[in-house]
A and B are shown apart, each in its own frame.
Chain A
Amino acid sequence: MNILVKISLLLTAFLVLSPASASTAAMPLAKLDIANDKESIQRGFEVYYNNCRFCHQLKYIKYQYLPDIGFDKAKVDALRGSQLINASLQSTMSEAAANEVFGAIPPDLSLMAKARKQGPRYIYTLLTAYYEKSDGGYDNKLMPGIKMPDPFGYSVANENSKVAIEAEAKDVVAFLNWAADPHADERKSLGIYVITYLIILSFLLYVIMKRVWRRLPPPVSEQL
């Protein structure tokens, strides 16, 4: 038991210490409660659909998933127009055209919330890290020299509209967080059942084990 305790202490210390200095970003990421309710995700979809979609595709999100976030069939049919129900959400601008205009291919957003450390916080921070430079241009504190133009006009917004933009950014983060892992809710709710089941099973096995071992006759050798 002695070494068990020691090793677990070591491991815990190791696990606690190692992510401590994990952040190498230019600025600390903003604190954020990631919304998980359907309303936020739907609003976030609208933000994506009316802004981000012009450049960023969602390669792994198909129209057929949209009912999952609470859109009805009519809404989905209106969104997809003549495209198939299992078509993915394409950007309006071609990659080549975007590359010509911005000098970079806008990344696919379907996995963005998982493809960065602290993904949701990263996206939120990035969207609200635009500022106005003294020469009138803009830049981004999280990613200096960013190619993406300030999508919400955060760098030139006044205090009131900044609050509105932050709310929009939060919604789009909620949507992208869902998009990166659409089964997360299902996973977490299934996990409760599995873990409850395993706790019960472990308890039963523990009782049986104790009972079986209790009837073991005492050892013969003395060194035990």
Chain B
Amino acid sequence: MTDDVKNPDDPERRDFLNTVTGVVAGVGVCAAAWPFISSMNPSRDVLSQSSTEVNLKDLKPGEGKTVAWQGKPVFILHRTDQQIENMSSSQGVKDPEADAERVLKPDWLVVIGICTHLGCVPNRVKDGWFCPCHGSAYDNSGRILHGPAPRNLDLPPYEFLTDSTLLIGRSST
């Protein structure tokens, strides 16, 4: 401190004022960088597609459809009582999991239609899905039966807005 008093005009003096100004300038540069970083995040119109609403009215038991959610295919299957019974009585093969843990309502199966092996889209076959790329087979609960895929088909976050409307993804305001 005595130094400062002796020689307030020393050019090399690093003091409080310089530190404060340096910090203020640094904070400013960081703050100015934020809009640029932020601009690379998904834009507003992309974010609005972060959830997909699906009308389930037209799907009869046994029918299914594929919808896009965040650009990914999502399989929706209106399961018949027979299918529900079959599925709840088995645990799957490679990646055992109870059917009840994979559905919100037993009537409706909602899974992301991307093979957990290398990302192909499996095709609907008689009792499940079959991936054309490397032959992974999935059952009507989206569980892997045989083939190279390591996991069951992933589940998207979803909720039933009404009995006949499904919202895939988190509801945005």
* A residues with CB within 8 A of B: 62, 64, 67, 73, 85-86, 197, 200-201, 204-205, 207-208, 211-212, 214-215
Q: Is A205 touching B45 in the complex (CB atoms < 8 A)?
A: no
Q: Is A62 touching B11 in the complex (CB atoms < 8 A)?
A: no
Is B17 on the interface with A (CB-CB < 8 A)? yes
Q: How many residues of B contact A (CB 8 A)?
A: 17
Chain A interface, >50% SS class: helix
Task: Determine the distance from Cα of A208 to Cα of B17 in the docked complex, in whole angstroms.
Answer: 8
Q: Is B17 touching A212 in the complex (CB atoms < 8 A)?
A: no
Is B33 on the interface with A (CB-CB < 8 A)? no
How distant is A88 from chain B, measured CB to nearest CB, in Å?
10
Chain B interface, >50% SS class: helix
How distant is A209 from chain B, measured CB to nearest CB, in Å?
10
Q: Is A62 touching B45 in the complex (CB atoms < 8 A)?
A: yes
Task: Determine the distance from Cα of A211 to Cα of B17 in the docked complex, in whole angstroms.
Answer: 11
A62-B45, A215-B9 known; A208 vs B173 contact (CB < 8 Å)? no
Q: Is A215 touching B11 in the complex (CB atoms < 8 A)?
A: yes
Q: Is A212 touching B11 in the complex (CB atoms < 8 A)?
A: yes
Is B40 on the interface with A (CB-CB < 8 A)? no
Is B41 on the interface with A (CB-CB < 8 A)? no
Task: Determine the distance from Cα of A201 to Cα of B45 in the docked complex, in whole angstroms.
Answer: 37
Q: Is B48 touching A204 in the complex (CB atoms < 8 A)?
A: no
Q: Is B9 touching A201 in the complex (CB atoms < 8 A)?
A: no
Q: Is B9 touching A200 in the complex (CB atoms < 8 A)?
A: no
Is B20 on the interface with A (CB-CB < 8 A)? yes
Task: Determine the distance from Cα of A85 to Cα of B173 in the docked complex, in whole angstroms.
Answer: 11
Closest to A73 in B: B173
Most buried by A among B20, B25, B48, B49: B48
Q: Is A204 touching B24 in the complex (CB atoms < 8 A)?
A: yes
Q: Is B21 touching A86 in the complex (CB atoms < 8 A)?
A: no
How distant is B123 from chain A, measured CB to nearest CB, in Å?
28
B13-45 Cβ-contact flags toward A at 8 Å (1 or 0): 000011011001100100100000000000011
Q: Is A214 touching B45 in the complex (CB atoms < 8 A)?
A: no
Q: Is A204 touching B173 in the complex (CB atoms < 8 A)?
A: no
Q: Is A201 touching B48 in the complex (CB atoms < 8 A)?
A: no
Additional A-B contact list (6), CB under 8 Å, known A67-B173, A211-B9, A214-B9: A86-B48, A86-B49, A197-B24, A197-B28, A204-B24, A205-B21
How distant is B51 from chain A, measured CB to nearest CB, in Å?
9
Closest to A72 in B: B173
Give the chain B neighbours of A211 by CB distance below 8 A.
Answer: 8-9, 17
Q: Is B45 touching A64 in the complex (CB atoms < 8 A)?
A: yes
Give the chain B neighbours of A86 by CB distance below 8 A.
Answer: 45, 48-49
26 examples of A-B residue contacts, CB within 8 angstroms: A62-B45, A62-B48, A64-B44, A85-B48, A86-B45, A86-B48, A86-B49, A197-B24, A200-B24, A201-B21, A201-B25, A201-B28, A204-B17, A204-B20, A205-B21, A207-B17, A208-B17, A208-B18, A208-B21, A211-B8, A211-B9, A211-B17, A214-B9, A215-B9, A215-B10, A215-B11
How distant is A213 from chain B, measured CB to nearest CB, in Å?
10
Give the chain B neighbours of A205 by CB distance below 8 A.
Answer: 21
Task: Determine the distance from Cα of A204 to Cα of B8 in the docked complex, in whole angstroms.
Answer: 17
How distant is B5 from chain A, measured CB to nearest CB, in Å?
15
